[in-house]
């Protein structure tokens, strides 16, 4: 992710990111389709949760958006069919006409600091543009209709009967399609202004969804996932739903008795501890620090309400088919919440494909930026191993923030803008309408066939993958940050959590009588330079060790520094 300037409203209130994703269901048809097809319709797979996102609300809005879109696509498919019946190649003219008319008001402006809305004469310019294009088309058809073509070519090009049927059908279809798109976009704009503004979303009313049993069950699974403590992932990386690792490091600390100066009586043997005790201690101390001083890196006690410290279990979806802890007799999808006893057992036995992490999340900028720190503890013999993986969920796509630009009631300027934008999209939407309408009509049948195949594979394949392959939140990730300070805030939080954690562990080991000399040395290295562990390669500062290793040093505002390779 880069830090290129993006002109878009930024989140500021808790719940903004959920609101943006709900708006995306209506603003981005591909996003809505992916959520329904890859998450909702994948009944057997796990759902990847993300901090501060109401996944159920997003899924419901995606379903509702598709239902609203279906009548529009049926009408556009009808217009498409009329032109295809009279003169198939005139479909290109319809697309050109709609696109050219939509671009008629894209005039140059001297303003460079904001968006200018169309003036009162915009629609007149659009009408004039459409009129002369139709006139030129009619004259060309009348001219070329004198050519002697065989019946097939004459039908394809619409040259029969002096081209009158082709012109009338094409112009009528273009007008009907344009009116359909304009009505649809005006209705969408009204929905966004009245239901998904920050004020209206404070008391949200979830949209109605089709009353089908499998949809009801899947929404329940999504709700369980966002309230759960388990992430069942597919593939190599376990942190599905939390973005890729921003940085990571590992420590190995020998658990040796603390030394004393010469002449001082030798102390008692160190007090042994279990990994579960260390995890509980770190969790409690982090929580106490938040209550006392506010969330790490903020100094604001009010921010502590947004801080989430949780035990999270990560499991490989291809290896849990026979694990009773993750399977339920009441649902197809894996169990997404384990009991405290089950989590305790996983902490004490960190082997295989199921691991425990102590996770710390702090949603910032209305949940648009969420830094997360994952801590894994284990002991092997007389060595304590600590792994820290830092992640930052960046902001969602800037276009989804459009809802914060809208004002209620609808102004004449905004109405003209919506109408002209609808015209500019009519051509491409018209060509895709028949396929979308057919796909929607066959959705239930296709879903039943898909489930038949999935259930058969689940019974026959012992390595059937139950893990989540996609994350709703990560689908919407922007490639750029929207504000410089989003980067600064995220890095400050992750750094503060790491420093607090290291200090807590050091004091814990000291209180138990263990030697922390080596730990202090490694701690100081992390504080001064930072250690990032990637694929078994140790990186200190900007130096990489290992064949083919690469290093990046993360510093505020310089997230795109060039890699340094070590051969």
Task: Give domain limits for the chain.
Answer: 16-212+398-460, 244-393+483-528, 531-567
d(CA 401, CA 404): 6
Q: What are the residue ranges in the chain where pLDDT is below 50?
A: 301, 531-567
Handedness of CA 89, 94, 97, 102 (dihedral sign): negative
d(CA 181, CA 24): 18
Q: What per-residue confidence (pLDDT) applies to 86?
A: 86
Element (DSSP H or E) covering residue 545: strand 543-545
Q: What per-residue confidence (pLDDT) applies to 567?
A: 34
d(CA 272, CA 237): 33
Q: What per-residue confidence (pLDDT) applies to 346?
A: 97
Q: What per-residue confidence (pLDDT) applies to 531?
A: 46
Q: What per-residue confidence (pLDDT) applies to 562?
A: 33
Q: What per-residue confidence (pLDDT) applies to 108?
A: 53
- Provide the 3-class DSSP secondary structure of residue 497: helix
Element (DSSP H or E) covering residue 247: strand 245-254
- Burial-class residue 325 by CB neighbours within 10 Å (0-12, 13-18, 19+): middle
Q: What per-residue confidence (pLDDT) applies to 155?
A: 75
CB neighbours of residue 172 within 10 Å? 15
d(CA 149, CA 155): 9
Residue with tokens 């905004």: 414
Q: What per-residue confidence (pLDDT) applies to 533?
A: 41
CA-CA distances (angstroms) from residue 517 to 76, 163, 260, 448? 73, 91, 12, 62
Asked if 10 and 401 touch (Cβ cutoff 8 Å), the reply is yes
Beta bridge partners of 248: 389
Residues 6+ apart with CB under 8 A from 479: 1, 2
Q: What is the CA radius of gyration of the chain?
A: 30
Q: What per-residue confidence (pLDDT) applies to 201?
A: 87
d(CA 308, CA 12): 18
Tell me the Ramachandran region of residue 510: left when phi exceeds 0, alpha when psi lies from -120 to 50, beta otherwise: alpha
Q: What per-residue confidence (pLDDT) applies to 146?
A: 64
* Percent composition of the chain: helix, strand, coil (DSSP 3-state, to 5): 50, 15, 35
Beta bridge partners of 393: 370
**DSSP conformation class of 392:** E
d(CA 182, CA 423): 7
Asked if 553 and 561 touch (Cβ cutoff 8 Å), the reply is yes
């Amino acid at each position: 992710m880069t830090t290129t300037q993006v002109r878009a409203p930024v989140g500021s209130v808790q719940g903004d990111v959920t609101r943006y994703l709900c708006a995306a269901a209506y603003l981005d048809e591909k996003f809505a389709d992916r959520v329904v097809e890859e998450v909702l319709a994948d009944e057997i797979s796990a759902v990847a949760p993300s901090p501060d996102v109401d996944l159920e609300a997003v899924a419901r809005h995606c379903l509702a958006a598709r239902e609203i879109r279906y009548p529009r696509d049926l009408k556009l498919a009808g217009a498409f069919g009329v032109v295809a019946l009279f003169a198939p190649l005139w479909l290109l003219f319809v697309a050109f006409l709609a696109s050219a008319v939509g671009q008629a008001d894209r005039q140059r402006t001297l303003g460079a600091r904001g968006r200018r809305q169309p003036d009162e004469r915009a629609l007149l310019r659009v009408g004039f543009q459409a009129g002369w294009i139709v006139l030129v088309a009619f004259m060309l058809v009348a001219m070329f209709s004198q050519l002697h073509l065989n019946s097939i070519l004459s039908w394809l090009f619409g040259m029969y009967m002096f081209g009158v049927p082709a012109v009338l059908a094409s112009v009528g279809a273009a007008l009907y399609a344009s009116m359909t798109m304009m009505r649809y976009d005006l209705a969408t704009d009204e929905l966004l202004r009245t239901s998904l503004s920050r004020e209206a979303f404070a008391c949200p009313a979830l949209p109605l969804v089709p009353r089908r049993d499998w949809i009801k069950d899947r929404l329940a699974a999504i709700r369980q996932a966002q309230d759960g403590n388990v992430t069942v992932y597919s593939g190599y990386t376990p942190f599905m739903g939390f973005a890729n690792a921003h940085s990571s490091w590992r420590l190995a600390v020998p658990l040796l008795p603390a030394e004393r100066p010469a002449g001082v009586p030798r102390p008692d043997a160190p007090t042994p501890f279990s990994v579960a005790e260390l995890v509980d201690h770190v969790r409690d101390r982090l929580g106490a620090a938040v209550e006392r001083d506010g969330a790490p890196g903020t100094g604001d006690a009010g921010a502590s309400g947004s801080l989430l410290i949780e035990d999270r279990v990560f499991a490989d979806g291809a290896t849990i088919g026979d694990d009773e802890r993750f399977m339920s007799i009441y649902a197809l999808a894996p169990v997404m919440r384990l009991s405290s006893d089950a989590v305790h057992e996983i902490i004490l036995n960190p082997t295989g494909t199921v691991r425990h992490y102590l996770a710390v999340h702090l949603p910032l900028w209305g949940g648009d930026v969420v830094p997360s720190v994952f801590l894994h503890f284990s002991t092997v013999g007389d060595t304590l191993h600590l792994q820290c993986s830092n992640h930052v969920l960046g902001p969602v796509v800037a276009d989804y923030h459009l809802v914060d630009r809208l004002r209620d009631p609808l102004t004449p300027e905004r109405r003209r803008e919506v109408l002209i934008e609808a015209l500019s999209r009519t051509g491409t939407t018209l060509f895709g309408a028949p396929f979308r309408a057919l796909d929607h009509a066959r959705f239930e049948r296709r879903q039943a066939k898909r489930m038949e195949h999935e259930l058969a594979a689940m019974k026959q394949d012992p390595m059937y993958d139950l893990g989540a392959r996609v994350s709703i939140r990560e689908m919407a990730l922007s490639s750029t940050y929207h504000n410089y300070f989003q980067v600064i805030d995220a890095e400050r939080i992750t750094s503060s959590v790491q420093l607090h954690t290291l200090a807590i562990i050091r004091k814990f080991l000291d209180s138990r009588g263990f030697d922390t000399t080596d730990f202090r040395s490694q701690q100081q290295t992390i504080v001064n330079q930072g250690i990032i562990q990637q694929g078994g390669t140790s990186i200190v500062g900007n130096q990489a060790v290992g064949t083919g290793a690469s290093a990046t040093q993360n510093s505020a505002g310089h997230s795109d520094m060039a890699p340094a390779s070590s051969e």
